[in-house]
């Protein structure tokens, strides 16, 4: 699904009618010299999930707005429950390392 640059910015900033951002999905996926590479999952008015990626200025001196250099593209995604084992800090409960059993040859 394609959007205009203005629609993409409105979606990122929470101003596109009837669309919502899925909580806890916004994250920085990388950095460049002047930009952050971002992504988040949004819920359409129909209840479908879409992933959106964009860049934005990394400091107050970079006035780069989302979709200034590329058009927004929504990628349809689905929510799946995946079970995995990991090592957890006994004191804090935080994940330390995902567990990957040795593969026998």
pLDDT tens for 63-91 read 888 998 889 999 999 988 777 787 788 88
Question: What is the mean pLDDT of the segment spanning 45-51?
Answer: 95
- The residue ranking higher by pLDDT, 43 or 58, is 43
What is the pLDDT at residue 47? 95
pLDDT tens for 13-46 read 999 999 999 999 999 999 998 899 999 999 999 9
Q: What's the pTM?
A: 0.75
| Domain regions of the chain by residue span | 5-98
Contacts of 34 (CB under 8 A, 6+ apart): 57, 58, 59, 62, 64
């Amino acid at each position: 699904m394609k959007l205009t640059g203005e629609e993409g910015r409105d979606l990122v900033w929470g101003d596109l009618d009837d669309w919502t951002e899925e909580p806890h999905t916004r994250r920085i996926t990388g950095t460049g010299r002047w930009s952050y590479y971002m992504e988040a999952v949004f819920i359409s008015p129909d209840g479908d999930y879409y992933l959106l990626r964009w860049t934005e200025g990394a400091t107050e001196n970079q006035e780069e707005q989302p979709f200034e250099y590329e058009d927004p593209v929504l990628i349809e995604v689905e929510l799946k429950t995946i079970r995995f084992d990991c090592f957890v800090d006994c004191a804090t409960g935080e994940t330390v390392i995902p567990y990957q059993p040795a593969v026998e040859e």
